[in-house]
Amino acid sequence: MEHSSRCIVFGKFNTLSLYPITLQKSRKTRVYPCFNNTIKYIKVRRKVNKQMAYEQHTYRLRGSNEIEIKYKGNFGARGEKRAPKTKATHEQIKKQNQWKKETLVRRTIKLNFEPYDLWNTLKYPEGTRLTLQEVNGHLKCFFDKMRRRYKKRGQSFKWIKRLDISSRGGIHIHILVNRLKGEDTDIVIQECWPYGRVYYTNIYEQGGYEALAEYITKKPDEEIEGQLSLFPEEDQKAFRSYSCSRNLVRPEPERKHYARRTLRKLFENGPTPTPGFYIDKNSIISGINPYTGMSYYRYTEIKLGFVDHVANMTERRQE
């Protein structure tokens, strides 16, 4: 019985060989049939696994850039290996997840809001006790009114919200909104919230992006947990998480992979800022991620004149 022939060309060696159809496929090469007794030459490319020296993620945010570098060993040099992985404890996992949540919220705020945008607290009269369903109904009316006011001015209404409860059991709402240009935003918010008083400040006075992100994502303490126990379990979830408008831009990094460069110069001389920026020395952090075994190096660069611009704009808004 005659066997049909197959032809293989090995990667860079350009070697041709004919094999009968009964041979099994090799894991590193592919076998292709020949039809009508003709020889078909097909080149098979071998996959070359390039070892990554390091990977860099750059987040382009408002007034600053945040750079994260992941690598193996001390400098990401050839032959260096990642540190051994360790099994994380329950507390370590919770801490890591909390850090990721804070980082995501902080970058989202920096990407979508100005430092002089308003951080508000929507309150009810003292002694008011409402169900979560009633509060959600009030919030729906509030959001509808705010959207209409912004739409009249041809602007988008952006917000990040966190429900909170006091030690005495009173519900209040923390909400970050972008300023409505052409009107006094604080007055507009009070007009759209007829259920109680509104207290407000700006992001800059609240302590900046980092402090605000930490507050939005914080976990209830023991005293607040005691008040939450008075609510049904399904309602308690609303007080442990935050929500935001769908028109917010999500932070996505610019990813770059380097196969031959190392980080030796970075550690010896420090990071080099992008033209028009300077490095925040307090933001430089390096270490080893115990869960992945990969080393990391993080820092933030701030646009020249951005801090002074924020301070001047905040003073004008207050006047």
Rg (CA), the chain: 29
Per-residue model confidence (pLDDT) at position 8 = 43
Average pLDDT on 212-222 reads 89
Q: What is the pLDDT of residues 70-97, one digit of tens each?
A: 887 665 555 566 677 777 788 888 888 9
Confidence of residue 185 (pLDDT cuts 50, 70, 90): very high
Residue 147, pLDDT score: 97
Q: Tell me the mean pLDDT in the region 236-242.
A: 89
In the predicted structure, residue 22 carries a pLDDT above the cut 80? no
N-terminal to C-terminal alpha carbon distance within the chain: 97
How many residues appear in the chain? 319
Q: Quickly state the pLDDT bin for 269 (edges 50, 70, 90).
A: confident
Point out the least confidently predicted range of 82-91, 143-152, 176-185, 264-273.
82-91
Percent share of the chain, pLDDT over 90: 43
What average pLDDT does the structure give for the chain?
80
Q: What pLDDT is recorded for position 103?
A: 95
CB atoms under 10 Å from CB of 68, counted, come to 16
Is residue 127 over pLDDT 80? yes
pLDDT of residue 51: 56
pLDDT of amino acid 311: 66
Q: Which residues contact 60 (CB under 8 A, 6 or more apart)?
A: 254
More confident residue, 184 or 269: 184
| Percent with pLDDT over 70 in the chain | 76
Give me the pLDDT at residue 80, please: 64
Structural domains in the chain, sorted by start: 5-44 (no CATH), 110-244 (3.30.70)
Q: Can you spell out the DSSP letters for the chain?
A: ----EEEEEETTT--EEEEETTSPPPSSS--EE--TT-----EEPPP--PPPSEEEEEEEETTEEEEEEEESTTT--TT--PPPP-PPPHHHHHHHHHHHHHHHHHHHHHHH--TTSEEEEE---TT----HHHHHHHHHHHHHHHHHHHHHTT----EEEEEEE-TTS-EEEEEEE---TTS-HHHHHHHH-TTS-EEEEEHHHHTHHHHHHHHHTPPP-HHHHHHHTTS-HHHHGGGS-EEE-TTPPPP-PEEEEESS--SHHHHHH-PPPPTTEEE-GGG-EEEE-TTT--EEEEEEEEETTHHHHHHHHHHHHH-
Question: Which residue bears the tokens 């001390």?
Answer: 74
Q: Are 175 and 159 in contact (CB under 8 A)?
A: yes
pLDDT of residue 5: 40
Question: Which of 6-10, 26-30, 231-235, 249-253 has maximum average pLDDT?
Answer: 249-253
Q: Residues 1-33, buried b or exposed e (16+ Cβ, 10 A)?
A: eeeebbbbbeeeeeeeeeeeeeeeeeeeeeeee
